[in-house]
Homo-oligomer: A and B are copies of this chain.
Amino acid sequence: MTNMMPHWLDKRADLTPNHIAIQQPFKDPITFIELKTKAKSLAKRLSSAGVSLGSRVGVYSPNSAEMVVVLHSLSYLGAVAVLINTRLSTSEVSHQLTDANVSLLLTSDEASGACQSIVQSLASPISLYSFSDVWRLGEKETNLRTEIDLNAPFTIIYTSGTTGFPKGVVHTYGNHWWSAISSALNLGLDVNEKWLAALPLFHVGGLSILLKSCIYGMTVYLLEKFDVEAVHHAIMNEGVTIASVVSVMLDRLLQWLQSEYYPSTFRCMLLGGGPAPKPLLERAAQANVPVFQTYGMTETSSQIATLSPNNALDKLGSAGKALFPAQLKIINENGNEQPAFVYGEIYVKGPMVTNGYFHNEDANKRSFHNGWLATGDIGYFDEDGFLYVVDRRKDLIISGGENIYPAEIESVLLGMEGVEEAGVTKKADEKWGSVPIAFLVRSDTKLTEEQVLAFCHAKLANYKIPKEIYFVDTLPRNASNKLVRHKLTRFIPK
């Protein structure tokens, strides 16, 4: 059984050349043959810039058709795309570029100013090209790849770990392939499918839609970002059949929907990004919105478990069962499987699960056990084997679909002069689901909230900046002196 297959975009453009690959509001649609032609031309220009097999290339861009072309062009060269979250701070991006040993950074034209500062902040400088810069280069005669090796790496996406240091999740072509196939086996596959992508393409949830498009021969309805009116319009009038959203998006869509109903051809609202509040799911059911709750993470190349709408209400709050080629188990501290209804750590296995973190033997040793990935998430099965995720990793804060790890913010705060101890936890928020709040023990009693926030602004993405700062005398700790984050909120003045 070979691990090679034809290059996905070549094959797709051969099978259905005139099918629409990308549809965007107020723009010309792009067919698969056009996408292929552009991507191959861009690949030859990137070759002029020195990109070749195995190069790691940073991609810093909001969603756009140009970004899609860039990603496919990198695959024609066998280069690895390191996808950068554009909401990160300069120092966060610098860390990722350095850690992934990126040799060249590609950026959307609009973001090239921001990327200039990032590149200048690096210890060893790397080349920076805006997408337009690359198009101005000449095409270099290059042997573009005609086959894809399922075992070869295609993308690296950084994810914060419980230790607070972002780790680069390496996705092979095979991981993406199996993710797409597993999803199709679950949701079915229709020749008229149109999947809405309003999630950022630099997250695996958005990226996976792009690759499904190429593998299935499916149109992506691409939005630069989530905009409730644009998404509503696309579902109501543009033939969208599937949309990927996180809870905060679903909430806003339901508000917008009011007493209308989506057309019956809209068959799947794929809900990811952490456990959904039950009242939200009930509202969705009342509005006849076909919500599929999912469980997944960067390491699983998007969803690995999904609950179908048939079970949406009698299994309310469940993330369903593992997709066909995947497996889940719940493991206790002694490494044994837990019976139904008993909490434990969620372990996952399957061909869509990453082989490991980039150049991070320690993290790999901690996380992988006999082919299983220990997710760090806590969950349980019910009597029918349906998964319930209790805590999306211990203490994780999910804010508008973005993962925020308290330890990461704490380590920034502890880097500030005058801060002796720091504890971060979450607070419910109507708009974002949760937001981070911080508790500090000062060594310098003159330290102010304003100073702390200013320090955070320089180091952290906006969404990670604590929304409230409390100065306290001690932090709650357990017998082993470990911080007990869920007890922090008792310090909030009533």
Q: A residues within 8 Å of B by Cβ? A: 1-6, 11-12, 14-15, 150-151, 172, 174-175, 178, 181, 184-185, 188-191, 215-217, 321-322, 324-327, 349-351, 353, 355, 371, 385
Contacts and interface: CB of A to CB of B under 8 A. Distances in A.
Contacts of A326: 5-6
Given A11-B324, A189-B185, A216-B185, A349 B2 contact: yes
A115 to B, nearest CB: 32
Number of copies of chain A assembled together = 2
A371 B175 CA distance: 22
A332 to B, nearest CB: 20
A351 B6 contact: no
Nearest to A4: B371
A15 B185 CA distance: 11
A326 B216 CA distance: 14
Given A5-B350, A351-B1, A371-B4, A14 B189 contact: no
A371 B321 contact: no
A189 to B, nearest CB: 4
B216 A2 contact: no
A185 B189 CA distance: 8
Contact of A188 (B15, B189, B215): B189
A413 B175 CA distance: 54
Contact of A351 (B2, B217, B324, B351): B2
Contact of A4 (B175, B181, B215, B349): B349
Given A185-B215, A215-B324, A324-B11, A1 B371 contact: no
Given A189-B184, A321-B14, A2 B371 contact: yes
Contacts of A12: 324
20 contacts: A1-B151, A1-B172, A1-B355, A2-B349, A2-B350, A2-B351, A5-B350, A6-B327, A14-B321, A181-B181, A184-B184, A184-B189, A185-B189, A185-B216, A185-B217, A188-B189, A188-B190, A188-B191, A190-B190, A215-B324
Contacts of A189: 184-185, 188-189
A174 to B, nearest CB: 4
B188 A14 contact: no
Nearest to A355: B1
B150 A353 contact: no
A172 B1 CA distance: 8
A191 B184 CA distance: 11
A3 to B, nearest CB: 8
Given A6-B326, A12-B324, 9 more contacts: A1-B172, A1-B174, A1-B178, A2-B351, A11-B324, A188-B188, A188-B189, A190-B190, A215-B324
Contacts of A6: 322, 324-327
Given A5-B351, A189-B188, A15 B321 contact: yes
Contacts of A216: 185
A12 B217 CA distance: 26
Contacts of A355: 1
A385 B16 CA distance: 12
Given A2-B350, A350-B2, A15 B324 contact: yes
Q: Which of A6, A150, A217, A326 has the most CB of B within 10 A?
A: A6
